Amino acid sequence: MTTQTEERTGFRRTLVRVLAMQIATLLLLGALQAYFTP
Amino acid sequence: MHPVNWLIVVGWIGYVVVHGVRRARGTKELEGYLLANRSLPWWAVGLSVMATQLSAVTMIGTTGQGATDGMRFIQFYFGLPLAMVILGVTLVPFLHRAKVYTAYEYLERRFDAKTRSLTAFLFLLSRGMSCGTIIAAPAVVFSAIFGWSMTTSVAIIGVPTVIYTMIGGVQAVTWVDVKQMMLIVGALVAIVVVLLVQLPVSPVDALRVAGAAGRLRVFDFTPSLDNTYTFWSGVIGGTFLMLSYFGTDQSQVQRYLSARSVDEARSSLLMSAYWKIPLQALVLLVGVLVFTFYLFTNPPLLFNPAHDRLVRERQPAAYAQLESRYHAELTARDLAARDLAAAPPDERPRAVRRFQQREASTSSIRTEALRLAESATGQPSRDVNYIIPRFVLDHLPIGLAGIFIAAILAAAMNAIAAELTSLATASVIDFYRRWVRADGPDEHFLKVTRVSLVIWGLFACVVATFAANLGSLIEVVNRFGSFFYGSILGVFLLAMIPRARGTGAFVGLIAGMAAVAAVNFGAPSVSFLWHNVVGAVTVVIVGVVLSGRRAHTA
């Protein structure tokens, strides 16, 4: 049970990190498009 | 090409082969040869996973696409990070703990032998053909640029790869991948720096001009099924494609099965989740900057030198006329681009419009030239794959050009090495050892695997030589491959549903492929990314329904 709980917590933490990185990348690309595309 | 550049290319190929062969130590047993004794660290496996996906097509085709179409291709990868996380908690622990050699071996434990064999057969069929096209794409470009015969180009790419892969197995492939990735990323960063230095305008002004030409447009939120590169097809279709590719394709599964533990296997995939989109952005940025470079330095009318020569010979008058119009337009576009770069904010809108008009006129002359090339040569004239190699050879400093050509070869070799090891592994483990000879010493299976790898290597080289002559075969094979991806993913998803049974999975797999074929032929305009969703969902629904009935009647 402990292992499963640990795995679930680990997964949630990883998911948050990956999503944060993904959102940061998309925001950067969006900013690039918004600033330079007329 | 300058002798120094040749020296770098030949030196790198030699280094790769020697390094790969040296890594062959400890590969006396089957598990050592096929899975590096499940001993590799996560970062090496992670780099190998990324290297496997980055083929020569990425180095020449995607960069070329950046130059002609801009950054929007990146949307194709938007589903990848989520797919990596899902795989990290679903298939990766399943497959790693099952101690299998191939992903398909697991299907027999979960379902039955026929489901395993059909899935493995579909993998061999699609990957066997695509392996040839992976060699063919760069070989065609090298033939046209260096004037080599197709056989020579194929041999230069294929032979060293077969040698180090056959001798060293997965251990050699992974460690060579690590070195090749360093070369590839280093070459991409170096080319960006050189481009920024060589441009006559500041980096910000260069990006402003590229933006005015639409090259920095990343997002397309149009809810269209026909357009391959939209935000929605990338996030939804892309997630299914990446789940299938990284979760069920032996060329990828074999990479993370060689990791030390489940956690290290997960971490290796997460490396792609973090870095794939930034890496792909770097690749496309190279193309965008090459486009900007050619605004201030006259580009050739046709980037394919073989076509350029043939059109000059066969249609001299028409081509000369086009060239003269092209050069006049280029001068006007150059001026408009410089005006835009120097324009103060209040005059920018007018400068943008003037530049966009000039850019449209230049593009239309290029389109006319490509049509002329098509009628003069009788071959498809799309020259997007030639833009970057021509730029590299014509404008990069001595040394760096050699490094970039070596990086293109490295990318080709990485992708082919992974394909060959996975094809040989599936042939031996899922067919030879399953149906022909179940027991025997490791030396015997090791020998059969090496023979199988050489046969697949020869097959890929032969397919590559003919694929070039058949022209559109590459596209046919890619489309053909997309028939299977979603359906194979569906079988693995089904494996995680407790009530699913073997016959349900087998019939579901066939139904999935039939559904994809129906969509492909019934609505050919629907982008292939959506095929993955159709295939996977059909397999799961049919599989669950059939398994449920069977369980009920039993």
Q: How large is the average pLDDT for residues B349-369?
A: 95
pLDDT digits (tens, 9 = 90+) for B265-299: 999 999 988 899 999 999 999 999 999 999 999 99
pLDDT digits (tens, 9 = 90+) for A4-36: 676 667 777 877 888 888 899 999 999 999 999
Give the whole-angstrom CA distance, residue B424 versus residue B438.
Answer: 16
Is the Cβ of B97 closer than 8 Å to some Cβ of chain A? no
- Among candidates B382, B355, B190, which has minimal Cα distance to B286? B190
Give the A-side interface with B, CB within 8 Å.
7, 11, 14-15, 18-19, 21-22, 25-26, 29-30, 32-33, 35-38
Q: How many other CB atoms are found less than 10 A from the CB of residue B153?
A: 24
Domain ranges of chain A: 1-38
Q: How many other CB atoms are found less than 10 A from the CB of residue B197?
A: 8
| Partners of residue B211 in chain A, C-beta under 8 Å | 33, 35-38
Confidence of residue B229 (pLDDT cuts 50, 70, 90): confident
pLDDT at B238: 86
Give the whole-angstrom CA distance, residue B334 versus residue B223.
Answer: 36
Query: Greatest CA separation found in chain B?
Result: 80
Can you spell out the DSSP letters for B97-139? HTT-SSHHHHHHHHS-HHHHHHHHHHHHHHHHHHHHHHHHHHH
pLDDT at B475: 58
Whether pLDDT at B227 is above 80: no
| Torsion angles phi and psi, residue B493, rounded to 5 | -65, -40
Which residues are CB-neighbours of B104 under 8 A, at least 6 positions away? B116, B117, B119, B120, B123, B250, B426, B430
| Partners of residue B74 in chain A, C-beta under 8 Å | 29
In one-letter notation, the amino acid at residue B487 is S
Q: How many other CB atoms are found less than 10 A from the CB of residue B473?
A: 18
The CATH class given to the B3-294+394-470 domain equals mainly alpha
Cβ distance B270 to A37 less than 8 Å, yes or no, reads: no
Q: How large is the average pLDDT for residues B149-174?
A: 91
In contact, B472 and B380? CB cutoff 8 Å: yes
Least confident of B21-25, B38-42, B402-406: B21-25
Strand partners for B259: B40
| Torsion angles phi and psi, residue B40, rounded to 5 | -85, 145
Cβ distance B218 to A30 less than 8 Å, yes or no, reads: yes
pLDDT digits (tens, 9 = 90+) for B77-101: 999 999 999 998 888 998 998 899 9
| Average per-residue pLDDT for chain B | 89
Instruction: Report pTM.
Output: 0.89
Q: What percent of chain B has pLDDT over 90?
A: 61
- List the single residue in A19, A22, A36 with the smallest CB-CB distance to B211: A36
Whether pLDDT at B470 is above 90: no
CA of B356 to nearest chain A CA: how many angstroms apart? 11
* Candidates B76, B218, B271, partner chain A, best to mutate (most A CBs within 10 A): B218
- In angstroms, the Cα distances linking B157 to B54, B185, B379, B410 are 15, 20, 24, 9
Is the Cβ of B282 closer than 8 Å to some Cβ of chain A? no
Can you spell out the DSSP letters for B389-447? HHHHHHHSPTTHHHHHHHHHHHHHHHHHHHHHHHHHHIIIIIIIIIII-----HHHHHH
Cβ distance A29 to B218 less than 8 Å, yes or no, reads: yes
Domain ranges of chain B: 3-294+394-470, 305-382, 472-554
CA of A27 to nearest chain B CA: how many angstroms apart? 11
* Candidates B82, B96, B208, B216, partner chain A, best to mutate (most A CBs within 10 A): B216
Strand partners for B40: B259
Confidence of residue B37 (pLDDT cuts 50, 70, 90): confident
Is the Cβ of B262 closer than 8 Å to some Cβ of chain A? no
pLDDT at B551: 46
In contact, B340 and B355? CB cutoff 8 Å: yes
Whether pLDDT at B554 is above 50: no
pLDDT digits (tens, 9 = 90+) for B132-147: 888 888 888 888 888 8
Structure-token pair, residue B331: 């001068």
Whether pLDDT at B22 is above 80: yes
Confidence of residue B237 (pLDDT cuts 50, 70, 90): confident
Q: How large is the average pLDDT for residues B50-68?
A: 89
Which residues are CB-neighbours of A35 under 8 A, at least 6 positions away? B211
Which positions 438-467 of B are in contact with A (Cβ < 8 Å)?
A: none
Q: How large is the average pLDDT for residues B295-311?
A: 92
Classified as helix, coil or strand, B259 is: strand
- In angstroms, the Cα distances linking B417 to B24, B48, B283, B430 are 14, 11, 22, 19
ipTM: 0.85
Q: How many other CB atoms are found less than 10 A from the CB of residue B371?
A: 11
pLDDT at B230: 87
- List the single residue in A25, A30, A36 with the smallest CB-CB distance to B277: A25
pLDDT at A6: 67
Q: What percent of chain B has pLDDT over 70?
A: 96
